[in-house]
Amino acid sequence: QSISSDPGLWPEITRAADRVFLVKRGPAAPLYNFDFPFDDQHRRFSLKHYKKRLRNGDEVLREWMVYSVFKNALYCFPCRLFAAPSSLSALGNRGFKDWKHLGDSSAHHENAKTHIDCLKSWLELKQRSKIGETIDAVS
């Protein structure tokens, strides 16, 4: 396969084989040692957005969140793979670049029905591909 790990360079994902390949590879890891560029308003993506603070104070990694170096934009990995083109938000389609509103927008996105459905599809395909690998390895 020759699909980049940068979601800003992905074509429209329509083939099941491409989805399986990308799900098996998984989203690109957070870029902890990257100097994120500033936009016109002198704002930039911050690593703090990779984590979500729960009500009990714990922090969890937003595994769905993936940054595009090519587009200086943020994407939702499962929405980019599974959402219908008509229902795509910026996080699933062209990439999100409004760094000032990222906190509110990512929280809103996480609670959207489309995102939840895409997240379920991602996790189901991820699980099925693991089971398939196990069966193939035993055979």
Total domains in the fold of the chain? 1
Burial string for 47-72 (b: 16+ CB within 10 Å, else e) reads eebbebeeeeeeeeebebbbbbeebb
* Residue 12 domain flag: yes
* Residue 2 domain flag: no
| Domain span at 120 | 7-138
Beta bridge partners of 76: 65
* Residue 1 domain flag: no
Mean pLDDT of the chain: 89
Rounded to whole angstroms, how far apart are CA atoms 35 and 44? 9
Residue 136 has pLDDT above 60, yes or no: no
pLDDT (tens digit, 9 = 90+) per residue, 41-98?
Answer: 999 999 999 999 999 999 999 999 999 999 999 999 999 999 887 776 778 888 999 9
* Residue 63 domain flag: yes
* Calculated CA dihedral for residues 114, 91, 101, 6, nearest 10 degrees: 150
Q: pTM of the full predicted structure?
A: 0.88
Cα separations in angstroms, 122 against 32, 54, 63, 82? 24, 22, 11, 8
* Residue 121 domain flag: yes
Helix/strand/coil for 42: coil
pLDDT category of residue 1 using cuts at 50, 70 and 90: low
Runs of H (alpha helix) within 1-112: 16-25, 77-82, 102-111
